Amino acid sequence: MIQTETTPNPNSLKFLSEKVISATGTEEFQKDKRNNLKIPFIKELLAFKGVELVLLSKNFLSVKKTDEVSWDELKPMVISHINDYFEKNNEPILKENKKLEENFVDDETIRKIIDVLDTKIRPAVARDGGDIKFKSFENGVVKVELQGSCSGCPSSLMTLKQGVQNLLKHYVKEVNSVEAI
């Protein structure tokens, strides 16, 4: 059974599933890049009128929509699409295991930053239907990418500066600031 939760972003909704949606961690897919996708479920979901972005995580997916469509119209279509997938398939939508952040683990400071992001920040961001991805660390500045419900959310800058930046500065003394890319 699929349940929904609102997120701080009014144009984003979180769809929770009892089944595993992603066995690979969190991945984001955008409408403008759907032609390159090999996963039919995501391609079809991004083809729905008004769907701008889809974020898949272990037991939920978030859909970010445009203003041209209402949730009353879109929500039943998304739920039906998820249910249809799991009626026909007994495996997660994302199956391959690839870890993008492994490239960065040689550096002790970066390892600490990723650990804080994974253990303290990512779970909170996931509750709101989003994700945060480490991109780089240079000269005391951590660059991250906000995904899912968090991208374009009115409160994301405040979350980034008051939440993410403060936590990272507290746990990793080398961090001076955090920026979204």
- 25: its two tokens: 């961690």
The whole-number average pLDDT for the span 21-46 is 88
How far is the C-alpha of 148 from the C-alpha of 38, rounded, in Å? 20
DSSP string of 53-77, one letter each residue: EEEE-SSEEEEEE-TTS-HHHHHHH
Query: Any residues with CB less than 8 A from the CB of 23 and at least 6 apart, and which?
Result: 58, 92, 94, 95, 97
Residue 8's pLDDT is 86
Contact 156, 91 (CB under 8 A): no
CATH of domain 3-88: 3.30.1370.70
Write the CB contacts of 43 (distance below 8 Å, at least 6 apart in sequence): 34, 37
What's the first-to-final CA gap in the chain, in angstroms? 35
pTM (two decimals): 0.65
Q: Where are the domains of the chain?
A: 3-88, 100-180
| CATH number 3.30.300.130 is the correct assignment for the domain at 100-180 | yes
User: How many whole angstroms separate alpha carbon 117 and alpha carbon 24?
Assistant: 17
Mean pLDDT of the chain: 86
Whether the pLDDT of residue 102 is over 60: the answer is no
> How deeply is 3 buried, as exposed, middle or buried, from its count of CB atoms within 10 A (0-12, 13-18, 19+)?
exposed
- Summarised one tens digit per residue, pLDDT across range 37-83 is 888 999 999 999 999 999 999 899 999 999 999 999 999 999 999 99
Q: Look at residues 92, 86, 11, 108 and name the one whose alpha carbon lies nearest to residue 59.
A: 92
- Give the pLDDT of residue 154: 67
Strand partners, 178: 142
pLDDT band at 98 (very low <50, low <70, confident <90, very high): very low
Based on C-alpha coordinates, what's the Rg of the chain?
Answer: 17
- pLDDT reported for residue 15: 96
pLDDT top residue among 76 and 147: 76
